[in-house]
């Protein structure tokens, strides 16, 4: 299998190196003008312009600014799907780079590299179209950051865009791992993500007379600490659970007014479905018990958004072999899932998938994804484009073996 594709694979890697400067330029234009959520008109336009001239069948989304492009090989064969997410985060960029965002949003999760990398893969596959059987669906997706854009694209028929369903789907996500290292594993790759909302209701009053009020603020603080103890003392350390309270809203800004209510929101990350079921049963009782002990009322809502990404064992084992043929020891199998969540999970529920992390840290102490100080080394874009194209080629030609 690998020897039959050796010349084609070598040509793809060589072409990717030549493409890299154009991909870096595209990535930086996208980075300078980030867009949030499901509606990304400027990013959509940049993608369509970047794909111009490649003889693709392009459609755009009805309910979101997606781009679906189908590349047809020279002869019949299977279908493969390659995916990139496009949306940014509501973070003000703190890094002083020439292409820094100035609109209050930021590509702090590397989706700008994902877009450029998939554009590069499209160009590589188009260049070698004559050698390819079957079709590739190129899925440019908005709304990964909490909006479920992948699910919406599924509802709009992305899996049927080529006329036959994909036999495999691939995504590469950059992160602050060492530059140029590919990380993946068969099985569960990411955690599930559950939105947590807690409403505490007490009785407001004057800041100088707290004994006449039922102050929800110290109770909220107690609950935050109790949640950390709950995860550390109620779950096996080999069954990872993360509960993070990320927003706490109380009061009107007046320093002499005790508020009547507090709202806490955050995220719950789990790997095992049974663990999430247990949290759904136990966590409301914990919070309600603390509130009741102080004479307050509490309501707890848990809403699971993204399930875990589960990479298919056979597809992923083969994908690692394919990537190792080009990148050697830079391809590493990781021992455990990441606690991040991804809506590529909705694709993995319907198609055998592999999700890969590509290290893009510019130095040893690089800030993590979702930080205002995050910086990604876009010199990895040639490798990223080549990796996606190689995975597509191997999947398409495997069916012809």
What does the DSSP assignment read for 31-94?
Answer: HHS---TT--HHHHHHHHHHTTTS--EEEE-SSS--EEEEEE-SEEEEEEEEEEE---BS----
Give the other-Cβ count within 10 Å of 89's Cβ: 21
* Tens-digit pLDDT profile for residues 95-132: 999 999 999 999 999 999 999 999 999 999 999 999 99
Task: Decide: 175 and 358 in contact? Cβ < 8 Å.
Answer: yes
Mean pLDDT by 10 residues, the chain (401 residues): 69 90 97 98 98 97 97 96 98 95 96 98 96 96 96 98 97 96 96 96 96 96 96 92 96 93 96 94 97 97 93 96 95 94 96 97 92 96 97 87 52
3 vs 175: CA distance, rounded Å = 31
Cα torsion through 56, 62, 65, 67, rounded to 10:
-10
Instruction: Give residue 5's pLDDT.
Output: 77
Q: Any alpha helices (H) in 213-312, and if so which ranges?
A: 216-234, 273-293
CATH of 192-306, one of 3.30.300.10, 3.55.50.30, 3.40.50.150, 3.30.70.360: 3.30.70.360
Task: Decide: 140 and 68 in contact? Cβ < 8 Å.
Answer: yes
SS3 289: helix
Residue for token pair 């990537």: 323
CATH superfamily of 6-189+308-398: Zn peptidases (3.40.630.10)
79 vs 135: CA distance, rounded Å = 5
68 vs 83: CA distance, rounded Å = 10
120 vs 383: CA distance, rounded Å = 10
Q: Which residue in 144, 143, 154 sits closest to 38, CA to CA?
A: 143
353 vs 165: CA distance, rounded Å = 13
Both tokens of 230, joined, read 């709950």
Instruction: Give residue 1's pLDDT.
Output: 43
Structural domain boundaries of the chain?
Answer: 6-189+308-398, 192-306
Q: Which residue in 172, 123, 119 sits closest to 319, CA to CA?
A: 172
Q: Which residue in 354, 23, 41 sits closest to 182, CA to CA?
A: 354
Q: Measured in whole angstroms, how far is the alpha carbon of residue 327 from the centre of its chain?
A: 23
SS3 370: coil
| Torsion sign, CA atoms 277, 281, 284, 287 | negative
112 vs 137: CA distance, rounded Å = 19
DSSP state of 276: H
Q: Measured in whole angstroms, how far is the alpha carbon of residue 284 from the centre of its chain?
A: 28
């Amino acid at each position: 299998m690998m020897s039959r594709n050796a010349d084609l694979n070598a040509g793809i890697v060589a072409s990717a190196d030549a493409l890299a400067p154009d991909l870096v330029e595209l990535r930086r234009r996208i980075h300078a003008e980030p867009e949030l959520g499901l509606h990304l008109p400027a990013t959509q336009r940049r993608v369509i312009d970047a794909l111009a001239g490649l003889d693709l069948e392009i459609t755009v989304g009805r309910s979101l600014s997606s781009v679906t492009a189908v590349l047809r090989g020279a002869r019949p064969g299977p279908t493969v799907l390659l995916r990139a997410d496009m949306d940014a985060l509501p973070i003000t960029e703190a890094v002083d780079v020439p292409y820094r965002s100035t609109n209050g949003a930021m590509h702090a999760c590397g989706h700008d590299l994902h877009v450029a990398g998939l554009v590069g893969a499209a160009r590589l596959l188009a260049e070698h179209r004559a050698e390819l059987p079957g079709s590739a669906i190129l899925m440019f997706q908005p709304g990964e950051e909490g909006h479920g854009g992948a699910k919406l694209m599924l509802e709009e028929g992305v899996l049927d865009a080529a006329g036959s369903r994909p036999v495999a789907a691939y995504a590469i996500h950059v992160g602050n791992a060492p530059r140029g290292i590919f990380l993946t594993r068969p099985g569960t790759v990411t955690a599930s993500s559950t939105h947590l909302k807690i409403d505490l209701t007490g009785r407001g009053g004057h800041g100088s007379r707290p004994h006449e009020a039922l102050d929800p603020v110290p109770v909220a603080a107690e609950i935050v600490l109790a949640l950390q103890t709950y995860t550390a003392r109620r779950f096996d350390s080999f069954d990872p659970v993360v509960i993070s309270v990320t927003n706490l809203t109380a009061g009107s800004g007046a320093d002499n007014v005790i508020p009547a209510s507090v709202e806490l929101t955050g995220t719950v990350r789990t790997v095992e479905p049974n663990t999430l079921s247990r949290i759904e049963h136990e966590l409301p009782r914990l919070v309600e018990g603390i509130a009741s002990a102080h004479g307050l009322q509490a309501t707890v809502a848990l809403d699971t958004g993204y399930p875990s990404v589960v990479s298919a064992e056979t597809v992923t084992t083969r994908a690692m072999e394919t990537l190792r043929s080009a990148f050697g020891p830079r391809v590493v199998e990781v021992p455990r899932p990441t606690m991040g969540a991804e809506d590529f999970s909705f694709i993995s529920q319907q198609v055998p998938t592999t999700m890969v992390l590509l290290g893009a840290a510019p130095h040893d102490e690089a800030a993590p994804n979702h930080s205002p100080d995050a910086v990604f080394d876009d010199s990895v874009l040639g490798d990223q484009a080549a990796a996606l194209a190689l995975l597509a080629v191997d999947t398409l030609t495997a069916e012809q073996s």
